[in-house]
Structure 1
Amino acid sequence: MTPSPGRAAPRAQDVVIGPLDLAARVDEALAVQAEAFGLGQDEVNVRRHIVLRHLATPGARALGATVRSTGRLVGFVYGMPNDTAQWWSTVVEPYLRAEGNQSWLEGSFTITELHVLPECQQRGIGRRLITELTDAAEQETSILSAIDTESPARALYRRLGYRDLARRVVFPAAPRPYAVMGAPLPLLRP
């Protein structure tokens, strides 16, 4: 992958993983997500409100991947204890129930978003973000949703111990179906 115009891709050892004040850096984080996930400005505007609302959830935490020399954000992850009354859980619950996996919604830590700039992918940054975030979780399991296709992200999640709990999950207004995945904590290491 080539770096975005005007930016050199940092070396993995030059990227620091640490706590992220996501509310203060929400626009920068969403710019990373937009580039990594191919979002337009309208979708970014919608997601901004969602992220800020999620951050009010007790136990919500975020980590960022920043370039040591500049502080530029090149990746982020955030998550929170799953709340079965929240929108995401109410959408995925029937799919999980159909597969006999609805118990995963109780007492899990949800990975809400994990994104790394394309030029920084395949360097272990995403793995470091998700493992450090879940290592601090009090819950015994973690759940997430990912586009239901064989992608580098899904391969990473499988290497970390996530398995498919439900596939072809349709979220309102999402153009593609998702898979819901779950893993026991702590996540597997290579």
Structure 2
Amino acid sequence: MPSIPGDSPGTPEVQVGPVDLAARVDEALAVQALAFGLSEEEIDVRRHIVLRHLLQPGCRALGATTAEGRLVGFVYGMPNDRAHWWSTVVEPYLRVTGADGWLDESFVITELHVHPAYQARGIGRTLITTITDSAAQPRSILSAIDIESPARRMYRSLGYQDLARRVHFPSAPKPYAVMGAPLPLRGPRAGGI
């Protein structure tokens, strides 16, 4: 189980490992709400989505927890399925760029969030590399808000490249980019976001 030291005195060490995300869904959504700026209504909708995703074959989750057991980050993903809602939304955009083959034999990073107070310590990098290192698929795909951000820079440093941009999800106020990378991901396994 990877360990990430505190970045200053008084900042706790964080452990990354498997987590029962269904049992800790409210904690995870609280982290996502802070990291992503979700309203209470959006949290309620996402709770049902996360719990439904966790029932999908091959879905796996990791958490980043302090020694006291506080969840400060999480990632979950699964083998991609073209019949899933996400794939049906992004497929036309990927087809236009000639990248729709990325939907096959890919491990999709469904969610990755780190509490703002714990960002820039390598937790996000450790979560995504740890979960993809054990994927059976030869590549990984994900979507991220289509702006220059620390998350997008981290994804690029790991080998993710834009496959389609300006992707619009229903009810999402901002466009997304779909990114893909061959596995294993490149670069160091600690540091960054």
TM-score (norm 2): 0.92
For 1:126-145, what aligned pairs fall within 5 Å after superposition?
Answer: 126-145=124-143
2-side partners of 1:130 and 1:102: how far apart?
A: 22
For 1:1-190, what aligned pairs fall within 5 Å after superposition?
Answer: 10-11=11-12, 14-68=13-67, 70-190=68-188
1:151-190 deviation per Cα after TM superposition (whole angstroms, max 9, x unaligned): 0000000000000000000000000000000000000123
2-side partners of 1:189 and 1:76: how far apart?
A: 20
Per-residue deviation at 1:10?
2.9
Gaps of 5+ in 1: 1-7
Q: Tell me which amino acid in the other structure corresponds to 1:71.
A: G
SS at match of 2:82: coil
Q: Tell me which amino acid in the other structure corresponds to 1:36.
A: A
Per-residue deviation at 1:89?
0.1
Give the aligned partner of residue 5 of structure 1. Answer: none
Q: Tell me which amino acid in the other structure corresponds to 2:99.
A: N
Q: Tell me which amino acid in the other structure corresponds to 1:51.
A: V
Root mean square deviation, CA, Å = 1.1
Per-residue deviation at 1:9?
7.3
SS at match of 1:42: helix
SS at match of 2:56: coil
1-side partners of 2:58 and 2:17: how far apart?
A: 17
SS at match of 1:134: helix
Per-residue deviation at 1:51?
0.2
SS at match of 1:64: strand
Q: Tell me which amino acid in the other structure corresponds to 2:14.
A: V
2-side partners of 1:131 and 1:155: how far apart?
A: 15
Aligned length: 180
SS at match of 1:30: helix
Percentage of matched positions with identical amino acids: 72
Q: Do the aligned partners of 1:10 and 1:67 also contact (CA within 8 Å) in 2?
A: no
1:58-116 deviation per Cα after TM superposition (whole angstroms, max 9, x unaligned): 00000000002x10000000000001000000000000000000000001000000000
Q: Do the aligned partners of 1:77 and 1:129 also contact (CA within 8 Å) in 2?
A: yes
Gaps of 5+ in 2: 1-8, 189-193
- Closer, same or farther: CA 103–9 of 1 in aligned 2, 3 Å: farther
Q: Do the aligned partners of 1:163 and 1:183 also contact (CA within 8 Å) in 2?
A: yes
2-side partners of 1:134 and 1:9: how far apart?
A: 31
TM-score (norm 1): 0.93
Q: Do the aligned partners of 1:9 and 1:120 also contact (CA within 8 Å) in 2?
A: no
